[in-house]
Amino acid sequence: MVQRIEGRVAVVTGAASGIGLAIADRMAAKGVRVFMTDLDPGALDAAVAPLVQRGDQVVAAPLDVRDAAAVEALAGRVVDRFGGLNIAVDNAGVVNRGLAWELSSEDWDRVLQVNLWGVINCVRSFVPRILATGEEGHVVNIASMAAVHPQERLGPYTVAKHGVLGLSDVLRADLLATGAPVGVSVVMPGSIRTGMNPVGRVDPDDVAVNVMDAIERDRAYVFTDHHSTGAVRRRLEAILAARDDVISPGQPDPEPHV
């Protein structure tokens, strides 16, 4: 949780477009000093230019989140430039489609490297810098509705986003166990209109509004729209109901589920 966001320092990955850019834009407009990163340097420069012209305190640098050493070096640059780090938004992601058994190992590896290992690399490099300030901080991991609502032909993406959800829960527990004043939010956007999903119904700025609120109010699980609400509920209810079917040899059968 970061109740006073003005003057804080944030890093946003995948910030050249879509959700990442919308979050960086809103943060900068609120007086946050933002270090924006993306794999595409040209798109990143184009995204940063209007913010600089507006007078925002933003800096940009290309980054491949798959490269742990590069992420570590970038984290050092953020601290060198702004004197610390308070907020990390781990947003970079890619997607591919295909039947789980037909996708090549390269297809699986690319998505897992960016969408899961990229977040892991960011957590390992950004969280220590946030803790070093001794101040309130927050980590925002951008997952997807795929973290709670698997769909066909999205195997690597779904596996990665489930991992981001689990990582966020563990990170939150670890920080709580150490008494650190650092919150963790995992964001699960639905049908967002982005480069990866041009037919999406929800504007990326709606995600950014929810992310800003999550940082200020310490929302652990952040849904940004009502996409697939019924399907998510049915899945979670089915998981809970499955506990009634446990078979324990040598122990009395459980009472029938009503």
Helix (H, G, I), strand (E, B) or coil at 150: coil
Evaluate whether 44 touches 13 at the Cβ level (below 8 Å). no
Residues 6+ apart with CB under 8 A from 22: 203, 204, 205, 207, 208
| Catalytically annotated residue among 35, 82, 126, 157 | 157
**How far apart are the C-alpha atoms of 212 and 63, rounded to whole Å?**
23
Strands 33-38 and 182-188: unpaired
Q: Which amino acid is at 71?
A: V
* Contact between 144 and 160 (Cβ < 8 Å): no
Alpha-carbon separation of residue 176 from 173, 186, 213 (angstroms)? 5, 16, 20
* Single-letter amino acid, residue 212: M
- Hey, what amino acid is at 175? L
As a whole number of angstroms, the distance between CA 216 and CA 206 comes to 16
Cβ-in-10-Å burial (0-12, 13-18, 19+) of 122 comes to: buried
To the query of whether residue 221 is one of the catalytic residues in this protein, the response is no
- Classified as helix, coil or strand, 105 is helix
Helix (H, G, I), strand (E, B) or coil at 137: strand
Q: List, by residue number, the catalytic residues.
A: 157
